[in-house]
Chains A and B, each alone.
Chain A
Amino acid sequence: MTKPILDFEQPIVQLEEKIAEMRELGKAIDLSKEIAELERRTDNLRKEIYSNLTRWQRIQIARHPLRPNSVDYIKNIFTDFIELSGDRVAGDDTSIIGGIAKIGGIPVVVLGNRKTKDKKTNLYKPAPIPSAEGFRKATRLIKIAERLAKPVITLVDAPYNVPYPEIESPGLANAISNQLAEMTALRTPTLSVVIGEGASIAALSLAIADRLLMLENSWFSIVSPEKAAETLWGSLDFKEQAAEAMKPIARDLLDLSLIDDIVPEPIGGAHRNNKMMFEILKKKLIAELKDIRREKIERLLKKRREKYYAKGVWRE
């Protein structure tokens, strides 16, 4: 399997391969000076490239097939996970993964969008938009959390993918609507983190929370840049311009006070160092969780409502 490499990562990956090669050679002759020099150059190049990423490039990182996904996070930063299934009405939609788990010893209900693996390439594909069954399962699980007084953590990774009328089941909108309503009024602390893509209602339905965090290279908006390019520019060719104009990256949302905090990623993005990413996110989630659990539920609900009431811009 060849690793998928983004075009702007290419020079760095080449240098890294060269260093690995020289290390191999270095077993026979002393190349430590040359290796140190190459490492210095690589470091500088990394800093140069990754501190000047365009929004479109960050979106490519957010969509990277090797980027840790919800299942990876559940495996690596939670313990004692038991997956719960089914909406108790019609079926089980596996595009939503959810269950009971612990993080830092704290029992929680955890939910997320689940990507599927492409059988040919063995790489992850974006998660599909959940069906009514998926949204109902999400609602069922957060209601369990509410009843049993456990906090909810959601891992958002939803690409833009609107259902076609042929497959839009009549109960889909109602299921989403209920999920949105429950998230806004859920009587238990809620914590959300956008780990990759955060498009439209599929993302929002898991992202209404007391604290909403975004990973540094993740994005969140009403539609994808591709969809915006098609709708407003009239062509997919303008997707990079659309990505710039939409300001959908974590930094943009924090500047607009639309999210509560950014979770930094390892240099080059989460996919360059999964282990470090798990450590960073675990620490952050535990700290935030401890913080929101201290609040009285009535106060938390009032704050949650008022947070959303204050969003938006107008003049009068």
Chain B
Amino acid sequence: MIWFGKSKISNEATELVEMPDGLWAKCPSCNETIYKKELELNLFTCFKCNHHFKIGINEYISLIFDESSFKEFNINLKAVDAINFIDSKPYIERIKEAKNKSGFENSVICGIGEIFSHKMVFGIMNSSFLEGSLGSLEIEKIYRSVRYSIDNRIPFVLLFSSSGNRIQESAISLMQIAKLTSAVNELRSEGILFVTILTEPTIGETAFLYAMQGDIIIAEPGANLGLSNKSSLEQKSKKRISDKFPKSDYYFNNGQIDIIVDRKQLKATISKIIDWYNK
């Protein structure tokens, strides 16, 4: 069984420390040397310590959805710089660079697909595109998916991978929180199921607050979660603090998350929830 189809895994599994021969890789958590093909078959989780390697949008889509059932929405939406934002480079220039680097147009993909034949509207973030930060274009894509969910009474699932704010959109990006919160409120009042999946990383004010709005909140093991941005804290304190940074189990133990789900169980878990909802 080929899990990931034609997608380029190596681009997105960024933590992978490759061995010189290109066939073997090292687990950053337990140092075990793993045969890359084997890692792929194990959905990029370590056999020995269950470390969940970061994977990308294509990998999640092929592991969650029935084969070739996923259809993307709104592929023609493009980012605009409303305030002519320039730091050391213009914002539009940074978007172009991110496109070239990641191969994606922006940091969110939304669409509809089937999971064990159940329909599901799905949004997924891409932390390799400007840290997975959410600008007004990305929120508009998610907003339209929520509308589609409401109009067609199909559950909405949003998978997070984001670690920054879209500072380049300043106040516009802050207002997006109100926009998406309004939309999620509508979803709730219409009785449509909303599930959030928190993967490595789900940090920063915007992402983590959206993540907390799910009816059911799922997290992958070992994912960095929280409102505070780790990299900026590290910058400030000039030392590595990632060990102290709260991960999935901290939030689970404190009652903020419903389930921590192994990647290998992710599809089965989501489909069970949707099956329960649809019955």
**A residues apposed to B, CB below 8 Å:** 162-166, 168, 170-174, 176-177, 180-181, 183-185, 200-201, 203-204, 208, 220-223, 227-228, 230-233, 238, 241-242, 245-248, 252-253, 256, 258, 304-305, 308-309, 311-316
Contacts and interface: CB of A to CB of B under 8 A. Distances in A.
A205 B181 CA distance: 11
B86 interface: yes
Of all A-B residue pairs in the complex, the 6 with the closest CB atoms, nearest first, are A312-B136, A170-B254, A232-B87, A314-B137, A177-B212, A313-B82
Interface of B: 74, 76-80, 82-83, 85-88, 136-137, 139-140, 143, 164-179, 181-186, 189, 205-206, 208-209, 211-213, 226-230, 232-233, 235, 241, 244-246, 250-251, 254-256
13 contacts: A165-B246, A174-B212, A176-B227, A180-B177, A180-B178, A185-B189, A204-B175, A223-B165, A231-B167, A248-B170, A305-B182, A312-B139, A313-B172
Contact of A181 (B139, B143, B184): B184
Given A165-B226, A311-B179, A222 B166 contact: yes
Given A180-B209, A232-B88, A314 B77 contact: yes
A206 to B, nearest CB: 12
Given A256-B83, A314-B80, A184 B182 contact: yes
Chain A CB within 10 Å, residue with most, of B83, B165, B167, B232:
B167
Contact of A177 (B88, B172, B209, B251): B209
Contact of A314 (B79, B168, B246): B79
Contacts, number: 181
Contacts of A232: 87-88, 167-168
A222 B143 contact: no
Contacts of A227: 167, 232
Given A171-B255, A183-B178, A314-B137, 19 more contacts: A165-B246, A170-B250, A171-B256, A172-B227, A173-B208, A173-B209, A173-B227, A173-B256, A201-B174, A222-B206, A227-B167, A228-B87, A230-B232, A246-B167, A247-B170, A252-B83, A309-B182, A314-B136, A316-B77
A56 to B, nearest CB: 14
A233 B85 CA distance: 12
B78 A311 contact: no
A165 B181 contact: no
B250 A312 contact: no
B257 to A, nearest CB: 10
B56 to A, nearest CB: 23
B141 to A, nearest CB: 9
A314 B74 CA distance: 12
B177 A201 contact: yes
A315 B170 contact: no
Given A165-B241, A222-B171, A314-B80, A308 B179 contact: yes
A165 B182 contact: no
Contacts of A163: 227-228
A253 B170 CA distance: 10
